[in-house]
Amino acid sequence: MNISWSRRIFSELYAQGIRDVVVCAGARNSPLVVVLSKSQGFRVHSFFEERSAGFFALGLTRRTGRPSAIVTTSGTAVAELLPAVIEAFHTGFPLVVVSADRPRRLRGTGAPQAIDQTGLFGKFVNQEFDLEGGEMFDLSAWSRRAPVHLNICLDEPLLDDEVREFVLKDQYSAIATAALPFAQSVSAEWAGVRLTKFLRSEGSLAVVVGTLDSKDEADAVEQFLLRLGAPVYLEATSGLRECASLQNFALKSGDRVLAWALKRNLVTKVLRIGGVPTVRIWRDLDDAASSIEVLSLTSLPFAGLSRGELLCSNVTETIAQCAVSQATPSQDLLEKDRAAAAALVKLFEEEPLAEPTLVHRLSRLISENSVVYVGNSLPIREWDLAAEFGRAFHVRANRGVNGIDGQLSTFLGLAEAGRENWALIGDLTAMYDLTAPWALRAREAELKTRFVVLNNGGGKIFNRIFGNALFENAHDLDFEGWARMWRLSYQKWTEVPQAAHGLASAEVIELVPDNEATTRFWSRYDAIWK
């Protein structure tokens, strides 16, 4: 019954609203793969490397707003999906993992390509179904804010029937398949009351805005911040850095200004809105001895700190329920920020070859409205520090668990046709995901993609933190051969040009900073805060 069962499985997934299926073929999943190849209705993406494929599927989910599915064969192929599943779990995105398995009777016997696939994803899946002999699954209780795992045990003969073309029927109902609230969620009314109390309490407030879920949410937060009038640190993934209306309260000299203000008691309470922030002070706030009050308002159930208070609720509805009184921003803080921001601009002029300056100039080169994917490690931090304020981009990142894995694959999944798509990632991060351009083979014609590899010769974030060579994995490799292998155009830049001419539809740009200039830049930046 493998063939007819596979048809029922895909019909059900289609009815659940899934439209994109990433498939990594092997022998054990052959009934699923063959049925998929004969089905009409899915966009099928074929990949051979499951780790990248998992992140690509996550990118597709993020772009389409619908869960995507990923189909693997048995054994370690399934295990390769763990990083993407963990990232999806921590960012509240759905994925459907469909793993083929050998029959249950072989579990624990050491038979070829037979591992115990149940429980492989642990607490990072919302539901797991271990199915055999035509059993079906019921996804009505799936939160759609985390992955699910369907483990399909298939016996031989694998291809046990003729496979005919079939057209999938659209029974998908957006209402029946809407995401459920997290168990930790509180009502917007309750959250609004709590937020009002926090804002009215004694103390001097700063706001940090991390990743916001949508343009509508960003618009609502913008209006809220305007009413509040408190100093606000806007991470690029908030989508609010470009708001002209917020320029009077937006801190523009980097996250160090917050550390500076906390040390001087110019800020005594912090409101975080959106995703867990990247800013360094967020880690410092975890200090149990800290007297700084912290409140997090986020749609995800993660406090991101072991102290402070979490309001997991609908952000837009909560701020609509909140009675805001205008804050009185610390003038000392705003003045320091203005002076430091001016010093930063001067540093960009005086150190044109330093890494943050290259990032700054890149942010002026990239056309507005592009998708900009910023990789973890220094790229996201340097973009937050150095990207030109007021320019509108769609900034994306994987900040669930801050991994340097799967970054290019996620980028290719979420890249949008009809826009330019730029990825800015570190060199080790690029090496981690060398197979990612495989995904372009299916999407190439429609996509404009620029992979900017900031090649500073290793994991330079550690150089700044530890100054110990073992952390850095220093190297003198370049990316020209990688570009050639995937038949991508390639350019090497040591400076960012005034305008981007002659870029191919898919281009690798190796951006090479002058490491001495970068060291000088950071020591001069540090001096601003002494």
- Write out the residues near ligand TPP by the rule CB under 6 A: 376-379, 402-405, 426-429, 456, 458-461
CB 510 within 8 A of CB 431: no
Of 296, 245, 260, 255, the closest CA to residue 275 belongs to 296
Residues 339 and 260 sit within 8 Å (Cβ to Cβ): no
Tell me the chain's radius of gyration from C-alpha atoms: 24
The dihedrals phi and psi of 469, each to the nearest 5 degrees, come to -60, -30
Q: Which is nearer to ligand TPP, 183 or 470 (CB)?
A: 470
> Whole-number minimum distance, CB 276 to ligand TPP, in Å?
14
Q: Tokens 């991508």 belong to which residue?
A: 488
CB of 9 to ligand TPP, least distance (A): 32
Written as six digits, the tokens of 246 are 């917020």
* Rounded distance between C-alpha atoms, residue 202 and residue 421, angstroms: 45
Instruction: Return the number of the residue (51 or 336) whose C-beta is nearest ligand TPP.
Output: 51
CB of 278 to ligand TPP, least distance (A): 12
For ligand TPP, give the closer residue by CB, 334 or 401: 401
Task: Please choose, from the candidates 279, 275, 303, the residue with its C-alpha nearest in 3D space to the C-alpha of residue 206.
Answer: 279
Closest residue to ligand TPP, judged by C-beta, is: 426
Q: How many CB atoms lie within 10 A of CB 46?
A: 18
- 9 versus 512: smaller Cβ distance to ligand TPP: 512
The CB-of-456 to ligand TPP minimum distance in angstroms stands at: 5
Least separation, in Å, of the C-beta of 255 and ligand TPP? 16
Between 222 and 427, name the residue whose CB sits nearer to ligand TPP: 427
Q: Which three-class secondary structure state does DSSP give residue 469?
A: helix
How does DSSP classify residue 445? G
Cα–Cα dist 94/126, whole Å = 9
CA distance 150 to 21: 14
The residue among 84 and 311 lying less far from ligand TPP, judged by its C-beta, is 84
The minimum distance between CB 53 and ligand TPP, in angstroms, equals 16
Task: Say how far apart CA 422 and CA 288 lie, in whole Å.
Answer: 39
Shortest distance (Å) from residue 434 CB to ligand TPP: 13
Given the complex with ligand TPP, which of 2 and 463 has the nearer CB atom?
463
